């Protein structure tokens, strides 16, 4: 790890080194299933020691049999830039040895196989909640959102339900095929998108306008339920395609947002102020609905485009995007956009709050995919439980390195903070059993003269994380001394 990627103020001072962590005066032992930025972060963290994880073969077979949506658990650096580690395969270890680590960045497959038989010690922290797929499978996410919307309408009235109108109309196939057909007939000529519920990276996705296209698909993909040699048909979602995406330079993009949940009960949520917009490489047009390079903004799709330039990449930082939108539309309009995104983040999590098996040992870092339309309305496309941590270039590596280091700062296994912080590096506390308000000027005057509270949300704002970390570590140290 290079010098300048170290987090200043982190375990550097003598006093800090002498800090007694919750684990005691010994090194924190970590395991990690991935070999990208997260491994670099963990290996570079002072006082942390690696214990062997599952071997490469195990990981590869897990990759090919992904159980849930949204994952990009890469075991190989995709571009040679993303990782600096020359990680060697290690022999398989006994899977249920649960006492030999303090922190485990595991893959979802491992968790599914082991969680139910595993005893977790007081100090242990592990990535993923047991049934994270309630939010990260495309069909279940929509089902849970629809349910909370109905409940809200029942309890608080129809108008409150409107705050849930941020995901495009969606049906699960094959189970809701007939309802979908009715909807399809009510809206002739519009475009729909078909997506496998549990795949990621744009795999298996296609757009269509004629029912015939889907009947062909139906025949090909999940024909004979009576055919016992075939497995149950793969679940898809069919979703209204957003035909008017906001375009920059004629290109479509979506926004990747990082959200950290450290507890579901009470719900405690952090929002990372950095992220990025992922652009498609080809100008947007509705004439070529079969062209994935036009319509799917996944980096894994775009990097295969014939004219893709790896130097230029296809990303803008969220800060650059926010600045661009502010210059074009003014800060009030942009504030509204980002407020809408905060609403999407919290509603999404609330929709599964009672369903997720809460466990104080678990945490989750979600990658939200948000698309803006030409009216600047944000739409929720999906939520990933394993957002890609493989860097696509230097800037991307720095973003992910800071993101992950600050995630460890939030979890604070070393017990160096007070637990009362509302900002830790690039993470801002968005929800703590209720909305968290910004410290500075809790009330803000709107253009029509009414006062509104401002949330502790700074997505796309300046991320001076290193300076901020220095400050909070110094102040926490002073508080702890007294």
Ligand X SMILES: Nc1ncnc2c1ncn2[C@@H]1O[C@H](COP(=O)(O)OP(=O)(O)O)[C@@H](O)[C@H]1O
406: contact with Mg ion by CB under 5 A = no
Part of the chain binding ligand X (CB under 6 A), chosen from 19-27, 87-95, 125-133, 238-246: 238-246
In the complex with ligand X, the residue whose CB is nearer, 126 or 193, is: 193
Smallest separation, CB 373 to ligand X (Å): 9
Q: Which helix (H) or strand (E) holds 444?
A: strand 443-445
Q: Report 376-395 residues binding Mg ion (CB under 5 A).
A: 382
Out of Mg ion, ligand X, none, which partner does residue 193 contact, by CB within 5 to 8 A per kind?
ligand X
Cα–Cα distance for residue pair 237/364, rounded to 1 Å: 24
Using rule CB under 6 A, residue 297 touches ligand X = yes
Size of site (CB under 5 A) for Mg ion: 2
User: What whole-number distance in Å separates Cα of residue 258 and Cα of residue 275?
Assistant: 7
- Binding span for ligand X by CB under 6 A among 2-10, 108-116, 177-185, 290-298: 290-298
What is the nearest approach in angstroms of ligand X to the Cβ of residue 111? 19
**With b meaning 16 or more CB within 10 Å and e meaning fewer, what string describes 320-343?**
ebbeebbeeeeeeebbebbbbbbb
Of the candidates 453, 449, 424, the residue with the CA atom closest to the CA atom of residue 438: 453
Shorter beta-carbon distance to ligand X: residue 30 or 368: 368
Nearer to Mg ion, 58 or 390 (CB): 390
User: In the block, which residue shows the tokens 């982190």?
Assistant: 10
- Identify which range of 119-127, 265-273, 293-301, 474-482 contacts ligand X by CB under 6 A: 293-301
Kindly tell me which residue out of 274, 364, 369, 414 binds Mg ion, with binding defined by CB under 5 A.
369
Size of the site for ligand X (CB under 6 A): 22
Closest CB to Mg ion among residues 69, 349: 69
Per-position DSSP letters for 339-355, written without gaps between them: HHHHHHHHHHHHTTTTT
69 belongs to the binding site for ligand X (CB under 6 A) = yes
Q: Which residue in the set 102, 107, 172, 254 belongs to the binding site for ligand X (CB under 6 A)?
A: 254
The binder of 428, among Mg ion, ligand X, none, by C-beta within 5 to 8 A per type, is none
343 Ramachandran zone, left/alpha/beta (phi>0; psi -120 to 50): alpha
Residues 83 to 122 in contact with ligand X, rule: CB under 6 A: none
Does 254 participate in binding Mg ion (rule CB under 5 A)? no
CA distances from 102 to 12, 50, 120, 261 (A): 21, 10, 9, 19
Centre a 10 Å sphere on the Cβ of residue 205 and count the other Cβ atoms it contains: 18
- Among residues 205 and 271, whose Cβ is nearest to ligand X? 205
CA angle, 190 as apex, 184 and 193 as ends, to 5°? 80
What is the spatial distance between Cα 102 and Cα 51, in angstroms, rounded to a whole number? 10
Query: Which member of 136, 239, 405, 463 binds ligand X (CB under 6 A)?
Result: 239
Q: Which is nearer to ligand X, 366 or 427 (CB)?
A: 366
Q: Residue 126 and residue 373: Cα distance in Å, rounded? A: 37
Q: Which of 32, 135, 261, 381 binds ligand X (CB under 6 A)?
A: 381
| Contact flag: residue 294 with ligand X (CB under 6 A) | no
Phi-psi sector, 200: left (phi>0), alpha (psi -120 to 50), beta = beta
Phi, psi angle pair for 249, to nearest 5°:
60, 30
Among 41, 267, 296, 372, binds ligand X (CB under 6 A): 296
Angle formed at CA 101 by CA 97 and CA 103, multiple of 5 degrees: 130
Indicate the residue among 125 and 252 with the shorter CB distance to ligand X: 252
Residue number, 172 or 369, with CB nearest to Mg ion: 369
Q: Considering beta carbons, is residue 205 or 260 the nearer one to ligand X?
A: 205
- Based on the shown chain and the rule CB under 6 A, indicate whether residue 193 belongs to the binding site for ligand X: yes
Span of 36-44, 94-102, 199-207, 417-425 interacting with ligand X by CB under 6 A: 199-207
In angstroms, rounded to a whole number, what is the distance separating the alpha carbons of residues 279 and 320? Answer: 13
Give the residue with the Cβ less far from ligand X, 124 or 280. 280
d(CA 48, CA 101): 11
Given 3-state DSSP classes, what are the helix, strand and coil percentages for the chain, each rounded to the nearest 5? 35, 20, 45
User: How far apart are alpha carbons 23 and 413 in whole angstroms?
Assistant: 7
Among 23, 34, 145, 242, binds ligand X (CB under 6 A): 242
347 binds, options ligand X, Mg ion, none, Cβ within 5 to 8 A by partner type: none
The answer to the question of residue 200 lying near ligand X (CB under 6 A) is yes
Burial of 28 (0-12, 13-18, 19+ CB in 10 A): buried
What residues make contact with Mg ion under the rule CB under 5 A? 369, 382
What residues make contact with ligand X under the rule CB under 6 A? 69-70, 168, 193, 195, 199-203, 205, 239, 241-242, 254, 296-298, 369, 371, 381-382
């Amino acid at each position: 790890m290079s010098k300048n990627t170290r987090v200043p103020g982190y375990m550097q001072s003598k006093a800090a080194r002498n800090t007694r962590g919750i684990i005691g005066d010994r090194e924190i032992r970590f395991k990690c299933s991935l070999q990208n930025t997260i491994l670099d972060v963990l290996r570079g963290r002072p006082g942390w020691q690696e214990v062997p994880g599952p071997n490469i073969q195990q990981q590869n077979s897990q990759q090919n049999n992904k159980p849930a949506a949204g994952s990009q658990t890469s075991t190989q650096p995709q571009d040679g830039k993303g990782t600096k580690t020359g990680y060697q395969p290690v022999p398989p270890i006994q899977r249920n040895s649960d006492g030999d680590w303090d922190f485990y960045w595991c893959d979802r497959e491992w968790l599914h196989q082991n969680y139910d038989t595993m005893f977790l010690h007081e100090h242990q922290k592990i990535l993923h909640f047991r049934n994270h797929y309630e939010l990260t499978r495309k069909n279940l996410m929509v089902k849970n959102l629809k349910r909370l919307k109905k409940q809200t309408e029942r309890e608080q009235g129809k108008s409150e339900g409107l705050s849930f109108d941020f995901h495009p109309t969606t049906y699960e196939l094959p189970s809701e095929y007939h309802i979908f057909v009715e909807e399809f007939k009510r809206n002739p000529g519009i475009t729909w998108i078909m997506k496998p519920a549990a795949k990621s990276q744009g795999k298996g996705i296609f757009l269509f306008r004629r029912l015939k296209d889907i009947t062909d698909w139906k025949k090909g993909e999940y024909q004979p339920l009576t055919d016992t040699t075939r497995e149950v048909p793969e679940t898809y979602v069919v979703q209204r395609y957003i035909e008017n995406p906001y375009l920059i330079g004629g290109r479509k993009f979506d926004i990747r947002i990082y959200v950290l949940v450290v507890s579901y009960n009470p719900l405690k949520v952090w929002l990372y102020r950095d992220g990025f917009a992922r652009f498609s490489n080809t100008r947007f047009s509705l004439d070529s609905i079969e062209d994935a390079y036009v319509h799917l903004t996944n980096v894994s799709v775009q990097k295969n485009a014939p004219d893709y330039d790896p130097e230029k990449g296809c990303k803008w930082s969220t800060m650059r995007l926010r600045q661009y939108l502010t210059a074009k539309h003014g800060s009030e309009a942009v504030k509204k956009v980002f407020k809408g995104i905060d609403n999407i983040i919290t509603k999404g999590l609330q929709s599964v709050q009672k369903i997720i098996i809460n466990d104080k040992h678990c945490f989750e870092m979600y990658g939200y995919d948000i698309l803006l339309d030409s009216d600047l309305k944000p739409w929720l496309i999906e939520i990933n439980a394993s957002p890609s941590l493989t860097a696509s270039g230097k800037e991307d590596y720095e973003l992910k390195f800071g993101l992950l280091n600050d995630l460890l700062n939030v979890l604070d296994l070393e017990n160096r903070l007070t637990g009362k912080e509302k900002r830790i590096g690039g993470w801002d506390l968005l929800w703590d059993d209720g909305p968290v308000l910004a410290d500075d000027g809790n009330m803000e005057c709107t253009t029509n003269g009414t006062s509104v509270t401002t949330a502790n949300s700074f997505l796309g704002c300046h991320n001076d994380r290193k300076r901020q970390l220095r400050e909070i570590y110094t102040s926490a140290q002073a508080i702890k001394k007294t």
